[in-house]
Amino acid sequence: MAISSIQFLHSLRPFNASFTTTPTTASSSKNTKTPRVSLGFRSSVNFNLCSLSSGFFVSSSARSRAWALARDRGEKTEDYHPVTDSVDDDQVVSTPQKLQERDFTDTPYVPIYVMLPLGVVSMNCELVDPEGLVDQLRILKSVNVDGVMIDCWWGIVEANAPQVYNWSGYRRLFQIVRDLKLKLQVVMSFHECGGNVGDDVHIPLPRWVTEIGQSNPDIYFTDRDGRRNSDCLSWGIDKERVLKGRTAVEVYFDYMRSFRVEFDEFFEDKIISEIEVGLGPCGELRYPSYTAKHDWKYPGIGEFQCYDKYLMKSLTKAAEARGHLNWARGPDNAGSYNSTPHETGFFCDGGEYDSYYGKFFLNWYSQVLVDHGDRVLALANLAFEGTCIASKLSGIHWWYKTASHAAELTAGFYNPANRDGYAPIAAMLKKHGAALNFTCVELRTLDQHEDFPEALADPEGLVWQVLNAAWDVCIPVASENALPCYDREGYNKILENAKPLNDPDGRHLSAFTYLRLSPVLMESHNFMEFERFVKRMHGEAVSDLQANSNKKQTKLQGIDDQVAA
């Protein structure tokens, strides 16, 4: 699907930075709200990556991934030194510090999907290079990939006039996928594509919508200084008839219903296995609180995005109902996009976020997010009755080790150290039988980097919390990788997170979507590693792992014999 916020975060630093190897150390947190009980969210490899605003910090085991990402974007790679491809499996497996592989034979089957390129369908809704795509899909099918994921862009399909839909390019694509006996995950992409590092296409919102925005910019999310964000529509117009006589949720529903009618045969034949419903920027359920368009840089806390007239009207109504009309305002001491929590009066320890007013505001702000998801997913269930639906959640892991969790608060996740902000979202998804797609599952707790030790990020703590919030209400959890991944160590990390070791309830991911189909993936060595990864995610035996396991057993038996003698 479209570039996620986490992929964007990890794309911010240029690749001409130096690579430094440091020991991996466990991070502790006195502010995390839950005991750090391991559920198996650990990797068998020593790979930590901190993607920051002025350079990359990567352990040596990750260099091949960073080098491949640079190649993906057409950047110079002469200065990058990937891990040597010629290292044989024997050598790798016999080096515990580099790779201790777990045998996933007979573990639960996790379906594998592969994201298609962002520009596979043109702005004229024509399939780009169908012959080349068929060849690549046949190769994916040859290694038993279950299916592919495709964005159905609102800005392409309903580009020129309200309720005038053009699905032609997607129909041809779906026919190809069906002929190859693959499955489809389809994303209802109601956001703009482009403007982020790594985006190779630009797909704006429909032209007729942006024309409305020129005369009524309050249809967009707005920060305290009045800067608009055209990535998606403000949730303040969910029930406002400002889109040529329709509300925003009516527009979304009409689009989804048109898709369901157009592709009825693909639903009936079970070719379409899941619909992921876009609920915000990058298709994620969150406010656009951190964006490069407004000069945000990691690890800035971001800004609240509630200053369009429609959301301010909602806030005023909530303040009146509470009996405190003076609370009908956003915080005036919450800093700016690139502030740190301790620099602000609102997010610092003991700050206003924990005051009566702060709790009121954050309750309202986060409830608007939950209510938006509730409204849209209710209509999605009407449109796609009988088909699995899903929602994507952003993994905002920086400042997680502080009391306020400032970056999560500005994004709409009311998750300070003394409150579980993800349980209400999980409950809302449960209400609609929707799955959670979480983007942060592959990441480990970041090393304390010399440039940004104050970021206090903890993706593993966040993963522990969010996955348990979802599993506690018994909804499926899927994931995708945040960075292009081609090496064995990266795949092992994903595997460990997909199938937690020794989980007493046998919980595991319901599906994994690989980001993304590219010429680099199709290079022979990379594709061999990918095929091996697919087999292990499917719970199949891998010959080289079995061979090395037999060698290890033989060696251990030899040692036992010597001891016995």
φ/ψ of 532, rounded to 5, equals: -60, -40
**Closest by CA position to 478, among listed 133, 147, 201, 177:** 147
Active site residues: 284, 480
The verdict on whether residue 397 carries a ligand-binding annotation is: yes
The verdict on whether residue 151 carries a ligand-binding annotation is: yes
Q: H-type helices in 384-434, by residue range?
A: 406-411, 423-431
**Closest by CA position to 291, among listed 205, 217, 195:** 195
The verdict on whether residue 482 carries a ligand-binding annotation is: yes
Number of CB atoms found within 10 A of residue 207's CB: 12
The verdict on whether residue 516 carries a ligand-binding annotation is: yes
At how many degrees (to 10) do helices 309-322 and 356-383 cross? 120
- What is the 8-class DSSP label of residue 194? -
Answer for the pair 365, 329: CB distance below 8 angstroms, yes or no: no
CA 154, CA 79: separation in Å to the nearest integer? 40
The verdict on whether residue 547 carries a ligand-binding annotation is: no
Helix, coil or strand: residue 289: coil
The verdict on whether residue 63 carries a ligand-binding annotation is: no
CA 525, CA 369: separation in Å to the nearest integer? 44
Instruction: Tell me whether strands 272-277 and 183-189 are parallel, antiparallel or unpaired.
Output: parallel
Q: By CB neighbour count within 10 A (0-12 exposed, 13-18 middle, 19+ buried), where does 410 fall?
A: buried
The three-point CA angle 330-332-337 to 5° equals 90
Instruction: Tell me whether strands 147-153 and 183-189 are parallel, antiparallel or unpaired.
Output: parallel
Answer for the pair 465, 393: CB distance below 8 angstroms, yes or no: no
The verdict on whether residue 31 carries a ligand-binding annotation is: no
Element (H, E) at 189: strand 183-189
CA 174, CA 379: separation in Å to the nearest integer? 24
The verdict on whether residue 294 carries a ligand-binding annotation is: no
Tokens coding 385: 């009755």
The verdict on whether residue 231 carries a ligand-binding annotation is: no
Instruction: Specify binding-site residues for substrate.
Output: 151, 191, 199, 392, 397, 439, 481-482, 516
Annotated binding site: 151, 191, 199, 392, 397, 439, 481-482, 516
